[in-house]
Each structure stands twice: as structure tokens, then as C-alpha cells.
Structure 1
Amino acid sequence: MKNNLSFFLSSFTILAFSACSKTDYLDVNAGDRPPLSANIRFVNARTQNTGIQFWTFTQKVTATAVLPGTASPYAATTFGNVQINFTEGSGTAYKVSRQFGNSAAYSATGGPNGPIAGYYHTVFAAPAKNDVTKDTLLLFYDDLSAPAAGKAKLRFVHLAPGIAGVSVKLRQNGTETTLYSNIPYGSAGGSNLKGSAYDSAPFTNVNAGTISLVVSAAEGAEPLPVQESGLSNITLETGKIYTVFIRGDSKGLINAGIITN
């Protein structure tokens, strides 16, 4: 009887411990779980004068149409292998679709790098590299860490088809310095990774204040004729993060846009 009682008590202890462990495992604090969404903002860098809506798969993720030259707020979206689309105006048909994270190589419809859970990203709708009458989507990763003390952070993205690569000089307080050299279409200055669907897109610390950017098709070449002086007298505030981009249309006209993180 004594042996049976000991066996019973031992078995009960093991079962109780197992039950407790299972309960503890299931009762995980939700705040300790890894993030389950990526953060993406969407930029309309097209030349058409129409607002567009962005979608991941069949879910619309922009609350209002993104006007030309502007960006949406960051939105929590799907991560990993993601199809991103956009519609034009009040239309419901996808104008462009592109799959991110579904391929080992870049193609017109997809690429190897998709949105990452917990990270921030920018997706541009822009004129396609080889046909300005068509559009494409490009994904960039965003580093939103604070600029150095007294500085702003700046990124330059080349989205003007027909220009193989551009160089960018920064003018400030009467001084001109080379900021980036030979940025290919679809890339950002200073990137380590380059591709038609993804770019690491780093930001550069620069002195805050009023600046102008001089963009040329090659080092030492004449500046490109950017319309509306979009690259002159840009005010950069201390602690802020900016992305400047250029886009081109079928007539060869180049416009510039600037968005703030």
C-alpha cells in the first residue's frame, strides 16, 4: 500500500508539473512576441497627374489616394513574400503588380527581397526603367535611427528613366561637395546592394540648414534640367530624415520630389 501511495504521489507531481509548464508556455505575454507586420509607406513618383491607392495582395493599405510627388504614412502590412499592387484614381483594376520575396533573381514581376517584420520600408510607384510609358514598383529599406547631433539625414533616389547613372553634389554656405557618384536608375546613393526591385537605400548625415543639390548624368557633366527648381533651397531641419528623388517623363522632363520621415 505504501509503495502504491508513493507511486501515486510521484505520478501526480509529474502531471501537475507538466500541466503547469504547458500553461506557462501558452500564457506568453503578447508583448514578448516578435512583431507580426512590416511597416511600409508608399510614394507616388509617377508622372501622371492622378492619385493612386496601394494594395498588398487584395487588401487596400492606403486610407486615401497618394497624390503625385507625395507619400502615405507608414502602414502595418504583410511581410515576407508579398504582392504589392496599385490602382489609379477610383479604378479597381491593378495598374501594376509586383511580388517581393518570391524569387532568387530580379525580374519585371518580382525579386528576392520582401518586407521584413518589425522593419520600415518605402515602396515607390515610378516610371519603368526601359519604358517610361509604363510603371514599376521598387522597395527600399528605411533606417530611421536618429541623425548625428546637429545633423539631418538625406537619401537620394534615381527614378528618371533614360539616364544610366547620376552624380549628386551638395551646395551649402558657398561650398560644393560630391555627395554621391554614379547612382543607377532604381537605386539610392551610397547603396551596397543594387537591383531593380530592392535597394538597401542608406541615409547620409549632412549639416542641417538650407542646401541645394546639383544632379548631373556623370561626374563633371552639365547639371540636368530639373523642372521647377525642385532641388534648390531645400531646408533640412536638425534631427529630421529626408528622401529626395528625381523622376522623368516621356518628353525627357525631369522633376524632383522630397519626402520627410
Structure 2
Amino acid sequence: MQYSSPPKETDQIANRLSSPKPISATNGLQIIRPGPLNGGSTKPATHNRSEQEGKKKEDAHARIPEPSPPPPRPMTSVRSSAASLLPSIRGAAELVRQEALRRELDGCQLLAGIWCHGLTVAQLRSIRASLPPTARLLVTKNSDMAAAVAGTRWEALRPCARGMNAWLFVRSDEIPPALKPYRDFQKEWKLQLNDFTGAVYEGRLYGPDDFAKLEAMPTRAQSYQYLLGCLQMPAVNVLAVLRARQEAMAQADKPPAEAEAAAPAAAEK
């Protein structure tokens, strides 16, 4: 049996199906082209190498740890910063006070402590006003006074630096006039408990019971009078002896009659 060839129309349809026409841009459709397989690239090989080297460098830089930034400073308030500076400020203030006390001790002849517990500011002012110019009354801390007199001739007064004290600095050898104003104040206000706690004079410590000796010390004028009296006594004695001798010689030079007449007259005198 002999078959006839298919018609030409069927051949044309088969040819069309086997070789379809590419879709052109004029048909209004977007051409999608497949990309490189396995993440490949359509760029030349030289570009791929340079990119790989750049990535390697970036990876190397990324592996180097960058220096960590400094930790943030803690937040401090004004009160905390002031509290940290407070000890140094206190120490500096103590040194200033101690240095001022050392300057007061320079040229001082007597240093005495007074128990000032209960005394008012007005009373202390009245005591200061009654003191002579060579005396000064100060109220200071016992710790500052103990530190100021340490290693000096006033160190014997350190046991008296307890409680509430006012300190009397006397820059003259006129001791009784410097102590008398406070004694008068004490008697006026009847403050028997607010007595002297101690004093140092010429390196010696005087207790509260020894102040009678300091108050009975002669003043400078009295000392000068005593010295002048001591100097005058021998001269007066010498003058008396010379006068008696001169009178005796004058009587020896007179005649016997005059001497007899002078003798009853001298007896009557």
C-alpha cells in the first residue's frame, strides 16, 4: 500500500512549531534572558580576579580588630566632686590656721588658756576690749593649738588643750597687767568656773593654783624702783660714813675749850 505525502499546509505548520520566531520589542513584551549559572558573571575573567583580590583585602581588614573606644567617663555630680575635694580643702585650712598661731607665738612672753565654756560673743568682745595692747585673746581649735606648739617651748601647755578654751597671748613682760582684766571680768560676772586652765612662762608650766605667783610678779616699774633702791643703799651708807668721819676730824682740830663747850651743846641737841 502506497502512502501519499502530507499536504503542504501541514508541513508549514510543523515548520512553524519547530522554529518559533523570537519575540520582538514591537510586540510589547519584555525579553527575559537567563543569567549566568551558579552565580557566574558575564564580565571578563580579569575583572573577576580583581574583585576577588579586593574582597580578600576587605576580609583581611575586617579580621583585624579595631581599637575599642575608651569607656565613657562616669557621670559625677557637683556634690560628689566637691566631696572628693573636701579633705584637701580641710587640710589646707588647718595648715593656714596653725601657721597663724605660730606667728602669734613669735615674740610671745606668756601663753595662758582660759575655760570659755558658756561665754557669749559679747562677753569675749568685752574681755578683748579691756586687754592692754600687748595682749590678745583668740578662740581656736585645740588640735590646731597642739600642732602649733609641738616642738616649741610652749609644748608643756598641750595637756591643757582640752575642752573649750580661749588663749591669751602676752607679748610683754608686764604679766600682771595682762592677767588683771580677766580677773576683774571674772569677779564682776561671778564666773568662778571659767578660770585659767594653765599657762607657760619662761618655759615653765603654771597650773590654775599657781596663777597667784604670776599675778604677784612685780611690774617693770616696780622692778626698776627695786634696782634703783639696791644701787642707792650702798651709796647712802658710804655717804653716812664719810659724813661721820668728817665731823670727827673737825672736832679733833678744835681747841680743848671749844671742844668742851661743843660737847654740852651736842649733848643738848
Q: Shorter-chain TM-score: which interval?
A: under 0.3
Higher strand share: 1
TM-score (norm 2): 0.22
Higher helix share: 2
TM-score (norm 1): 0.22
